[in-house]
A and B are shown apart, each in its own frame.
Chain A
Amino acid sequence: MNHLHDKKIKFLEEKANAIRQSIIEELVEAGSGHTAGPLGMADVFTAFYFHILNHNPKKPFWEDRDRLILSNGHICPVQYATLAHAGYFPLKELKTLRKFGTRLQGHPHKDTLPGVETTSGPLGSGLGQAAGMAYGARMDNKSFRVYCLMSDGEHDAGNLWEGVMFTGKNKLHNLTGLIDRNNIQIDGMTENIMPLEPLREKYEAFNWHVIDINGHDFEAIVGAVEEAKAIYEKPTVIIAHTIPGKGIKEIEFDYTWHGKPPKSDEARKFLHELRTLGGKIKSEHE
């Protein structure tokens, strides 16, 4: 599994592109929500749900499934889009995001939507929960793995570092963290708001194994997860360096896109860019 065949990589790239399109479609319909983070994490989510996770969309509560905890719930448009593309629920339901009566709540709610493992939104609380699941699994000699996806900005929160300390103390090697290191948060650049660096050294000091990767490189994502599985003496965190807004040139790296959705004319432009891969191909939708 360490090496991805070219065909698989192409498949993942196409999935990620389709998921990005769904994100834009969800957000323009909802009229509110976050754009940059979901686009930036589309490759990571694709890698997990279409290659890494041992899961079954038809049996979302299967006891031995791998658990993926999304700690920074505000990027849920990418989680919802990925779950829909993976077959957890119909794609057309994505249009109900944030609307009254929807299963796609503004921030994810456990059990409301199949595949959502926990409620999140208030930041910094996912790792503790992931650690609780991993601890319980170890007590019962279960072999499933727990993954916790976190933002870089939520590392401002004390609860998160309590989780880092607890996971390190208990050597929960069945838990792998992944940080979306996109360097932005709502009010600006992370290093201006509250510096996180040296992030690698901080995790190492808490007895974690740390892997830095390009979060848009499928081989790197899969390779890092494989490496984490082979580390038994400590938990692993993957610092995935990502580009916020990835896939749409005009919003890449722009923190002002952290917490707003595209307007309909912008969405049309963005979808065109995604469908033509920035003009490299002719869209079948044109």
Chain B
Amino acid sequence: MIRSGAKLVENIFDAESIEQIPTRNGYGEGLVEVGEKDSRVVALCADLTESTRTQEFADKFPERFIQIGVAEQNLATVASGLASYGKIPFIASYAMFSPGRNWEQIRTTVCYNNVPVKIIGAHAGVSVGPDGATHQAIEDMAIMRPIANMTVIAPCDVHEARKAVIASVAVNGPVYMRFAREKTPVFTTAASPFKIGKAEVFFDSSSSSGRSARLDVAIVACGPLVYNSLLAAGRLLKDGIRVRVVNNHTVKPMDEKTIIKAARDAGAVVTVEEHQVMGGMGSAVAEVLAKNYPVPMEFIGVQNRFGESGSPDDLIEAFGMGVKAITGAVKKVLKRK
């Protein structure tokens, strides 16, 4: 059942009536909020100001907005210099270009310098849709995760995106946040808990019985696909399969305690992310579990291929990240227990 402490919306399983907003809007809202509170916050953009939702900040604080042009390497290096001086720069582009095109500048001048640059990767995942594979970043977490000093966050909806942006200011170092282009369900609320590095249990079939009932499978998800994972959990419960869904928004540093507990309680894990299964959140979970509590795992995500044009919903289904694919993975992993 939905965990009450998660304070999710009431109509969560009513896919028809649930509100749909892109997570990138949460960046725009959060950025203006932190800009109002902290004069050190500056925003840089590489010619995608409206699309990355940097526009409202740019209109409100024109003296703190810096247009870099289509030059993502310079986006990172100018931000590094601003941060070395004492500013807190947010740099925004499509994830494919930042951190896709400026990886070395992010590694050397942001992470090795350990300066507080916040990197906003908009249009992450295949749900970018019609633009096709060139604009669908599905490797971004894999390239950000191994860099020392870096924090990596994949917010699940617009509220969580806003909270992540606000919380990132308190991290005295680099943070990478990935956002989606397309409208996705708004299923958390302003009151839902969010803390960087703390995974949240959103759904737990064992909690309804009043005693510590056994779990069958834990689903560990991040990004908007947390919603599909919750829908899958609801359907699985009807089949008598008891599932816990963990919203693992902070991919690095990972909340190992919550992940290990989920593996221990359930004995099998399915990870769900809109990213290549290699090097992403699922791989990070596997690293933690292989060392601490190995259990059978299945990985929902892009399976070693490029994206393509299409409608977001069709692509999520076609790439095996829909609700049916998740329930299928759960049943598959159950057989391996």
Contact = CB atoms under 8 A, between A and B. Distances in A.
B74 A133 contact: no
A131 B68 CA distance: 11
B104 interface: yes
A165 B78 contact: no
B105 interface: yes
Contacts of A91: none
Interface string B172-208: 0000000000000000000000000000000000000
A163 interface: yes
Contact of A162 (B64, B74, B79): B74
B112 A119 contact: yes
B73 interface: yes
A214 interface: no
Nearest to A63: B86
B84 A132 contact: yes
A133 B71 contact: no
A132 B80 CA distance: 7
Given A122-B108, A128-B73, A139-B63, 20 more contacts: A63-B86, A110-B114, A117-B84, A118-B84, A122-B105, A125-B77, A125-B108, A127-B77, A128-B80, A128-B109, A129-B77, A129-B81, A129-B84, A135-B78, A159-B73, A159-B74, A159-B77, A162-B68, A163-B78, A166-B69
A121 interface: yes
B143 to A, nearest CB: 16
Interface in B58-76: 63-64, 66, 68-69, 71, 73-74, 76
A136 interface: yes
Nearest to A163: B74
A256 to B, nearest CB: 28
Contacts of B112: 109-110, 119
Describe B's contact surface by its main secondary structure: helix
A42 B66 CA distance: 36
B21 interface: no
B80 A135 contact: no
Could you say which of A109, A111, A159 has the most chain B C-beta atoms within 10 Å of its C-beta? A159
Contact of A136 (B69, B74, B82): B82
Nearest to B82: A132
A122 B113 CA distance: 13
B84 A133 contact: yes
A128 B81 contact: yes
A63 B85 CA distance: 8
B252 interface: no
B108 A132 contact: no
The 8 lowest CB-CB distance pairs between A and B, nearest first, are A132-B81, A128-B77, A162-B74, A129-B81, A136-B85, A162-B71, A132-B82, A159-B73
Given A119-B112, A119-B113, A122-B104, A158 B73 contact: yes
A127 B77 CA distance: 8
A135 B82 contact: yes
Given A118-B113, A132-B81, A166 B73 contact: no
Given A132-B79, A135-B78, A159-B74, A166 B68 contact: yes
Contacts of B86: 63, 136
Interface string A85-129: 000000000000000000000000111000001111110111111
Q: How large is the interface on B (under 10, 10 to 19, 20 to 34, 35 or more residues)?
A: 20 to 34
B87 interface: yes
Given A159-B74, A166-B71, A129 B80 contact: yes
A120 B77 CA distance: 11
Contacts of B109: 118-119, 125, 128-129
A137 interface: yes
A35 to B, nearest CB: 24
A224 to B, nearest CB: 23
15 contacts: A110-B84, A110-B114, A111-B113, A119-B112, A120-B108, A122-B105, A125-B109, A128-B78, A128-B80, A131-B78, A132-B84, A139-B64, A158-B73, A162-B74, A166-B74
B112 to A, nearest CB: 5
A130 interface: yes
B81 A136 contact: yes
A131 B89 CA distance: 14
Interface in A127-174: 127-137, 139, 158-159, 162-163, 165-166
B169 to A, nearest CB: 17
B105 A132 contact: no
A121 B68 CA distance: 23
A105 to B, nearest CB: 10
Nearest to B112: A119
Contact of B71 (A63, A120, A121, A165): A165
Contacts of A119: 108-109, 112-113
Nearest to A159: B73
Contacts of B71: 162, 165-166
B83 to A, nearest CB: 8
Contact of B74 (A63, A69, A128): A128
A110 B108 CA distance: 10
A136 B80 contact: no
A75 B74 CA distance: 22
B80 A118 contact: yes
Interface string A176-191: 0000000000000000
A132 B78 contact: yes
A163 B109 CA distance: 14
Nearest to A107: B108
A134 B83 CA distance: 11
Contact of B81 (A111, A122, A124, A130): A130
B241 to A, nearest CB: 51
